[in-house]
Amino acid sequence: MSVTLPSSVDAWREVRARRSFQGRLPVSAFSRLGEVVASPEGDVTYELDFGRDNLGIAYVAVRAKASLMLVCQRSLEPFALPVEVDARLGLIVEEREEAALPPGYEPLLLEEDGKLDPIATIEDELLLALPLVPVNPDHELPEEIAGTEEDIPSDEPPDNPFAALRELMKK
């Protein structure tokens, strides 16, 4: 098990060695993630495990945890969102190999030389775990927007705007 994370690894060599990496990186180490968070503060705890399963499928298991600062799209205020990733990525060299991956595996297309950027792999999974529209679950809508109980429609049918026209046509 290694604490330091290299900038590039040979995925096939790591699979053969059943190598594991774990540690902590600052959020600021992830450039693309830094573009979508409100603040690059905090750390990402990660764990990468390379290996082969019972079917002989080469994989890298990615686990990561972080508390990321996002901007709530309802209140436009920053809030901390706990993000947890637990994914098993099947290593493939050609796109047609994706169909052979068993359920529960996501494909990870490698270059022919087998080089893999571990930081980019962790970052990809964190980005995929983020909500499309971040909303702080603890934020309450203001009463003038949310309305009151009086504004909730009752079981009575609403007034029909064409009822008056129907009465005129009867005459």
pLDDT in tens, 149-170: 565 666 666 677 777 777 777 7
The confidence score (pLDDT) of residue 169 equals 77
Q: What is each CA distance from 23 to 6, 20, 47, 97, 154, in whole angstroms?
A: 12, 10, 7, 31, 56
pLDDT above 70 as % of the chain: 87
Measure CA 87 to chain center.
11
The Cα–Cα gap between 80 and 122 comes to 19
pLDDT digits (tens, 9 = 90+) for 102-131: 999 999 999 889 999 999 999 999 999 999
Q: Is the pTM of this model over 0.95?
A: no
Which two tokens mark 116? 């893999």
The Cα–Cα gap between 21 and 62 comes to 10
pLDDT above 90 as % of the chain: 67
Which whole number is the average pLDDT over 61-73? 95
Whether the per-residue pLDDT at 45 is higher than 60: the answer is yes
Residue 2 exposure: Cα atoms within 13 Å on the Cβ side:
14
